[in-house]
Amino acid sequence: MPRKTSTPSYYKLKSKNNAVRACLATDFSAYKATDEEELFNRTKTVPTRINNEKLFSKVVLLSNDTEKLCPGKEGDGTDMCESGAGGHFETDEKVNFLSLTVLGLRILFLKSIIFNVLMTLRACMS
């Protein structure tokens, strides 16, 4: 079965105060897929892959003279987490309810342990 290949997606990221700017290449299958881009070719960073993932990512910090070399579209990265048509993250009511339930059970468990310790101390002092 042939391996599925994918080309990198490029994003130009910046911090809110423009202090840090970066060019991000994500979701590519070949280790040297970014070498054809001048910006990624002249840096010494290596592509990374998260455990159990099949695709690589690579990031390069930009300076004033290298900012034009990033092939990505302009953005601050917030559009990747917005819910809706183009986003990758959506909240789920069931997950929120289960998280709240687990938090309530943890608080109830902690209160019962505190109550048992106090009653044991009271019984020992009598």
**Residues 56 and 29 both lie in one domain:** yes
Asked whether residue 29 is domain-assigned, the answer is: yes
Asked whether residue 69 is domain-assigned, the answer is: yes
- Residue ranges making up the domain that contains 109: 91-126
Element (H, E) at 74: strand 73-74
The whole model's pTM is what?
Answer: 0.52
What total number of domains does the chain contain? 2
Asked whether residue 108 is domain-assigned, the answer is: yes
Q: What is the pLDDT along the chain (126 residues), one digit of tens a residue?
A: 456 788 888 888 887 777 778 888 888 888 888 888 888 877 778 888 888 888 888 888 888 777 777 877 665 444 444 444 444 556 788 889 999 999 999 999 999 999 999 999 999 998
Q: In this structure, what are the phi and psi dihedrals at residue 90, rounded to the nearest 5 degrees?
A: -130, 140
**Residues 17 and 76 both lie in one domain:** yes
**Residues 60 and 95 both lie in one domain:** no
**Residues 69 and 95 both lie in one domain:** no
**Residues 41 and 70 both lie in one domain:** yes
Whose CA is closest to 30, among 11, 5, 2? 5
**Residues 96 and 76 both lie in one domain:** no
